[in-house]
Structure 1
Amino acid sequence: MSRIVKKRKEDIGLSPDDISFRGEQKMDKILLRLIDFDVENLEEKVVEKIDTLLEYQKKPTVTWFNVDGLHDTKIIEEIGEGFNFDKLVLAEVMDAQARPKVHDFGDCILLSIKMLQQNEENSLISVENLSVVLNDSVLMSFQEKRGDVFEPVRERIRNQKKRIRTGGTDYLTFALLDIVVDNYIYIVGVLGEKIETLEETLLQEPRKSVIDEIYTYKREMNFLRKNITPAKEMILALSKLESELIRESSHIHFKELLDNINQAIDSSETYREILSDQLNIYHTTISSKLNDVMKFLTIFSVIFIPLTFIAGIYGTNFDVLPELKYEYSYFIMLGVMIILAFGMLLYFRKRKWL
């Protein structure tokens, strides 16, 4: 599956507020989950109908409504009608390939960012689009598929952590983004540890599989950079956003997010440079070993060239050659040739020239 954003031909020329799903369907049925809370009370449930959500708009609590799956246009339209969202908001939510951004619509704020997850078996990184729409009392998060990425935030709410229970939708937004950015740092760190272990292998045994690993990690680091850099731009814009929906006390948290994502970018750049250095080490080591091989073969050739020259002039055309009368001389000669060739192959392999 390609991880590069591709423009579909059927999407060309669509209106900016066209509500149609642009992306890859990653689950069969949309899952709607709701958490409503304040300092004292907590309600958590799976929602079957959008009408159920409308009663929470006027409650003095914080409501977090999470949508897993974006392919059902009808449900997204019902959400937009129920909460009176601008069509541009819904169009952005349905575009899973959109670049990370933040936009203030006055009555709500829309932001999107890429969530990254790493496959522990093959170290490959997958990407998923996350959109968040918030107003003064309701936060809606839209994911492409169901996952447990935000389960730590849910646990903090369930365990009555005072800060998140009293923070409002803007602080809840920070908590979700913090999970995403922390995951960036974690993935960079995991890849970084594997990259650092390659250097010892390169110096000891620069085999072909090592260079394949370097190219794999280099590709993953480039993919990380492609997704983290736009996320930094979004968070920077969010930290400077002047909106009544974001309290002054929350700006310091968004600036903290900016510091964290800068850490992820700096680390990824460092490891990209390390990979480039490792490529140079590999090629330098291979060149050095090749020089050793050429040195040995040159010495070997210098010794045998004059011997071959003499044999070429005089041959073995002498009157007295004891082996000519021996019955098995030919087979002995063949055996010596085979043993000599096999012995040289073993020697080359022992020296890791083959």
Structure 2
Amino acid sequence: MIKIYKTNESNMIERVDEVIDNCWIDLVSPTKEEIEVVSLKTGIDKDLILKMLDEEETPRFEKEDDSTLIVIDSPYIGDDNVKYSTLPLGIITGSNKHILTISSQKLEVLKLFKRGKIKDINTSLKSRLTIQILYENAKLYLKYLRMIDKEIDKTEKELHSLSENEELINVLNIEKSLVYFITSLKENKRVIEKINRGNVIPMYEEDLDLLEDASIENEQASEMANIYREILSSVSDTYATLISNNLNIAMKILTSITIIFSVPTMVASFLGMNVHLGIISDLKYGFLIIIGFCIIVSIIIALIFKKKKLL
């Protein structure tokens, strides 16, 4: 899918119908035919665009002829198995008058630009727009990390209900998301550092502050992700300890009950033998006496266990 945008005289972004000078071309899971059209109209090598259809692309930058490809990982909300994950986002700039973004799915960071949520956008300033995308991408990591933090708090509150495995699976899924975020933020940091050296895209004085802000936001997101991972690790350990403790309590209670009922079981076994039991067999209320004896002994054993906190 191809969508083309350009800022108007009021510095508001608007959609246009065809590729024109100083426009932003957004490709989302493009077909080979669409890639051919964009490559023909912009002069960008189609192989550079095709590389971004691989969801396993890692953050990096690559130069080919007059075009520069910058690849970063952008966060997005995925499926139920891994709710928060990342996808590669490619940004292509060069000597031509266009900037391209390529992704395999619609990404939240680009939606912010399309909806006019970001101020001071100018599609003709390719370096600045690239840095703005990096900055908003880092901020989006922080937003999703705060959402993950709330899910961790929710999971902690539900730890008391250990009859199901659902919460344990939820903890595992959140941990997966944090691993993806931490890895992506580290790779994004390297890309930002390379851009900061000024040998990837042309850098201007007014862009340096924004790039520094993007670097700070990325670093903050990376630190938060590591902190939340440590918290989640602590929650997982607590979860495992509670499960083990509850299992021990259950085994202790079952063992105590088994011992208590072993007395009447043994008495009933003796009485079930085909032998004469002496005077007890001749008593009118012998059966009741035996039952009463078993009950009294069982109660005494239960009280002893209760005193020793085994019940």
TM-score interval, normalised by the smaller of the two chains: 0.7 to 0.9
Partner Cα separation in structure 2 for residue 304 and residue 97 of structure 1? 62
- 2:170 equivalent among 209, 213, 223: 213
Unaligned runs of 5+ in 1: 1-29, 57-61, 325-332, 334-352
CA deviations 1:15-52 (Å, max 9, x no partner) are: xxxxxxxxxxxxxxx323131545679763133xxxx5
Using the TM superposition, give the Cα deviation of residue 132 of structure 1 relative to its aligned residue in structure 2, in angstroms: 1.0
- Is 1:168 the counterpart of 2:125? The answer is yes
Q: Please, which moves more after superposition, 264-273 or 293-302?
A: 293-302
Q: Does structure 1 residue 139 correspond to structure 2 residue 110?
A: no
Match of 1:185 among 142, 155, 166: 142
Alignment pair present for 1:114 and 2:114:
no
CA distance in 2, matches of 1:75, 1:67: 9
**Partner of 1:194 in structure 2?**
151
Alignment check: 8 A CA contact 2:3 2:15 kept: no
Q: How does 1:233-252 map to 2 (within 5 A)?
A: 233-242=190-199, 245-252=202-209
Matched, 1:64 2:24: yes
Q: Residue 217 of structure 1: CA displacement?
A: 1.7
- Aligned partner of residue 236 in structure 1, secondary structure: helix
Post-superposition offset of 1:167: 8.1
- d(CA) in 2 for partners of 1:146 and 1:214? 27
2:283 matches 1:320: yes
| Alignment deviations for residues 266-285 of structure 1 (CA, whole Å, 9 cap, x no partner) | 22212222222122112222
Deviation digits for residues 217-249 of structure 1, max 9, x if unmatched? 222222333333222221222222336722132
Partner of 2:229: 272
Write the distance in 2 (CA, Å) between the matches of 1:105 and 1:182: 30
- State the Cα distance separating 1:144 from its structure 2 match: 2.3
Partner of 2:183: 226
Q: CA deviation at 1:101?
A: 1.1
CA 1:285–1:97 in 2, change beyond 3 Å: closer, same or farther?
A: closer
- Rounded to whole Å, the distance in 1 between the matches of 2:63 and 2:10 is 28
Compute the TM-score of the two structures, normalised by the length of structure 2. Answer: 0.73
> Alpha carbons of 1:70 and 1:126: their partners in 2 closer, same or farther (altered >3 Å)?
farther
| Secondary structure at 1:114 match in 2 | strand
Asked if 1 retains the 8 angstrom alpha-carbon contact of 2:52 and 2:103, the reply is no
Contact between 2:28 and 2:102, CA under 8 Å: does it hold in 1?
A: yes
Tell me how far apart the structure 1 counterparts of residues 48 and 40 of structure 2 sit (CA, whole Å): 11
Q: Could you say which residue in structure 2 is the equivalent of 1:293?
A: 250
- Pairing 1:31–2:10 present: no
Q: Secondary structure at the match of 2:126?
A: helix
Map 1:84-123 onto structure 2 (within 5 A).
84-85=43-44, 89-90=48-49, 92-104=51-63, 107-119=66-78
Report the Cα distance in structure 2 between the residues aligned to 1:224 and 1:41, rounded to whole angstroms.
Answer: 32
Residue 52 of structure 2 contacts residue 104 of structure 2 at CA under 8 Å; is this kept in 1?
no
1:147 Cα offset (Å): 5.7
SS of equivalent to 2:199: coil
- The CA RMSD measured in Å over matched residues stands at 3.7
- How big is the shift at 1:120? 8.3
**Is this contact kept in 1: 2:8–2:14, CA < 8 A?**
yes
| Aligned AA (2:75) | L
Aligned residue for 2:15? 44
Mean alpha-carbon deviation: is it higher for 187-196 or for 87-96? 87-96
For 1:302 and 1:44, how far apart are their aligned partners in 2?
79
Q: Which residues of 2 match residues 325-336 of structure 1 at below 5 A? A: none
CA contact (8 A) 1:77 1:90 kept: no
Equivalent AA in structure 2 for residue 153 of structure 1: F
Q: Does the 8 A contact of 2:135 with 2:214 survive in 1?
A: yes
Gaps of 5+ in 2: 292-310
TM-score by length of 1: 0.65
Amino acid of the structure 2 residue aligned with 1:206 = L
